[in-house]
Amino acid sequence: MNLGYPFRVDSGGRTAVESDQDHIRHLIEQVLFTTPGERVNQPDFGSGLMQLVFGAPNDEFVAATQFLIQGSLQQWLGELIEVEAVEVRSQEGNLLITVRYTARRNGQRQVVRFER
């Protein structure tokens, strides 16, 4: 059982829960968009991605961002997922991030997309 993210109460007055797929998606989102130093008890947690949002969208920037994301996901979620590919594109001032992974628990392949 996975607690719902963000934490909330369901219609029955109990703590909301979510599926494994939604839980992993929310964990990936937390890793991507948490800046290292934001969490008091885990100061290294996160990817530093938000510090790169204003970088020049050239090939080197995209490659560095993909490497940063893949490394952070492997470090923090490596026990839950196997990252197969990370794609980063810059479009009209936004970063479009696609992560392909396999859940280790059930072998199910997933694709999640984020935009910032």
Whether the bond between 6 and the residue before it is cis, its omega within 30 degrees of 0, is: yes
> How far apart are alpha carbons 90 and 52 in whole angstroms?
11
pLDDT tens-digit map of 6-32: 777 888 888 888 888 889 999 999 999
Q: What is the pLDDT of residue 52?
A: 65
Q: Residue 79 pLDDT > 80, yes or no? A: yes
pLDDT tens-digit map of 34-75: 989 898 999 999 888 876 666 666 777 778 888 989 999 999
Q: What is the pLDDT of residue 20?
A: 86
Q: Quote the pTM value.
A: 0.82
Q: What is the average per-residue pLDDT within 84-104?
A: 88
Q: What is the pLDDT of residue 10?
A: 83
The domain 2-115 is placed in CATH, from the list 3.40.1190.20, 3.30.70.890, 3.40.50.970, 3.10.450.40, at: 3.10.450.40
Q: What is the average per-residue pLDDT within 74-101?
A: 90
Task: List, in sequence order, the alpha helices (H) in the chain.
Answer: 20-33, 59-77
For the chain, give every domain's residue range.
2-115
Whether the bond between 43 and the residue before it is cis, its omega within 30 degrees of 0, is: no
Q: Residue 1 pLDDT > 70, yes or no? A: no
> How far apart are alpha carbons 66 and 82 in whole angstroms?
15
